Chain A
Amino acid sequence: MAPADPRDDPALDAALIARWLDGDERAASELVARHAPAVARFVSSLGLRVDVDEVVQDAFVRAFGALDTFRADAALRTWLFTIARRLVLDRRRSERRRGTEVEVQEDDAATPDDPLSSLVAQEMQDRLKAAVERLTPMQREVFTLRVSEGMGYKEIADVLGSTEGAARVHYHHAMRSVKEFLDA
């Protein structure tokens, strides 16, 4: 059996949140360290090329500002992803109003100066990356949440404001597309 993912331990999150609400600021560091990399991955998968760290920071600031209202029955990471996604959408809307938006293209994440290129050296990894970059924005969001973060369809639907059925369909279409690209 595959080992349980400790990042998904809601009891640990709940304990850290309680500690922070009791005045323990170190708990905030632990919560940020646990979830910030995943939030950054997700924000990056949305096609945002700049200011990823700024969006991640804003998401945490907003979340902590309302942490006393956070429902313990929800997953903290899902909540953070929802906030981060809303921030990205707000940012795009704002840029559109100012006429400065650069539309997110299907290959936005495949820029030559993407730090990912320097990190991923092997040919297979390059191909995997290219396969994901070919997905539609919605497929890429769902696929990243499912494959990289291990989220269930219900959590994905919560983040995207969609339905479990739609998330499942997007995931399987994405997987089929990735396989076809790798087989070509």
Chain B
Amino acid sequence: MRDCANGELRDQLPDWVHGRLDAARAEVVAQHVAACADCADEVALLRDLGTTLRAGAPQVDVARIVAALPKPPARGRATLRWYQRTQWRAAAAVVLMVGASSIALLDRGAPDAPKAAMEFAGGVSDLSEGDLQSLLKDLEKMDATPQSEPDGAQGVSAELGPVAP
């Protein structure tokens, strides 16, 4: 039994026998096999070998294998991971909104607002009447801040002015 000189085509004979080539390539191989005795012999050999090898395989008990398999992860409903379920998504959205709002509020104050607030809390008795009135006005402005975000937090800080005197 001889080998065809067309090595590339001979290499594809098993793919052709198993129907794994696209239509165009399969047609090329089919035409070649029809005209090439060596490839026709090899195709016949491949088919005989395939039949022989498949016939010699041990029998398997499908039912026994299936009985040993683990149960499906979810019965009767789509398998969603925990983070894909609606209630978890809603909870995550609330947490994100609260977190984002807190960050936005901190950003609206001066960058050193926490420090200033601490200083203020430590010395409130030292404030004059004028200082207190000014602080109350600033707080009223903060309460009136609209929910929609301006273009930049820096503009809001400039509008509000310093939190501490």
Mark A residues whose CB is within 8 Å of B: 1-5, 8, 20-25, 28-29, 32-33, 36-37, 39-41, 44-45, 52-53, 56-57, 60-61, 64-65, 68, 114-116, 119-120, 124-125, 128-129, 132, 144, 146-148, 150, 152, 168, 171-172, 175-176, 178-179, 182-183
User: Within the assembled complex, what's the spacing in Å between the Cα atoms of A146 and B42?
Assistant: 14
List which B103-153 residues lie within 8 A (CB) of chain A.
none
Is B69 touching A4 in the complex (CB atoms < 8 A)? Answer: no
Shortest C-beta distance, A42 to chain B (Å), equals: 9
Shortest C-beta distance, A100 to chain B (Å), equals: 22
Shortest C-beta distance, B62 to chain A (Å), equals: 5
Mark B residues whose CB is within 8 Å of A: 1, 3, 11, 14-21, 23, 26-27, 30, 42, 45-46, 48-66, 68-79
| List of 6 A-B pairs having minimum Cβ-Cβ separation, nearest first | A150-B18, A116-B56, A23-B75, A41-B57, A148-B53, A4-B19
Shortest C-beta distance, A75 to chain B (Å), equals: 11
Shortest C-beta distance, A37 to chain B (Å), equals: 6
**Contacts A23-B79, A60-B68, A146-B14 known; 15 new A-B pairs at CB < 8 A:** A3-B19, A5-B20, A22-B76, A25-B72, A28-B69, A29-B63, A41-B54, A44-B58, A45-B53, A53-B58, A68-B73, A116-B55, A119-B55, A125-B48, A175-B42
Contact of A23 among B15, B60, B74 (CB under 8 A): B74
Most buried by A among B62, B68, B74: B62
Is A24 touching B15 in the complex (CB atoms < 8 A)? Answer: no
User: Within the assembled complex, what's the spacing in Å between the Cα atoms of A120 and B72?
Assistant: 40
Enumerate chain B residues within 8 angstroms of A8, measured Cβ to Cβ: 18, 20
List 19 A-B residue pairs with CB atoms under 8 Å apart, sorted by A's residue number: A2-B19, A4-B20, A5-B18, A5-B20, A21-B72, A28-B69, A29-B63, A29-B66, A39-B60, A41-B56, A45-B53, A53-B60, A53-B61, A119-B56, A125-B55, A128-B48, A132-B52, A148-B49, A168-B11
Closest B residue to A48 by beta carbon equals B58
Closest B residue to A149 by beta carbon equals B18
User: Within the assembled complex, what's the spacing in Å between the Cα atoms of A171 and B14?
Assistant: 11
Shortest C-beta distance, A94 to chain B (Å), equals: 20
User: Within the assembled complex, what's the spacing in Å between the Cα atoms of A119 and B71?
Assistant: 36
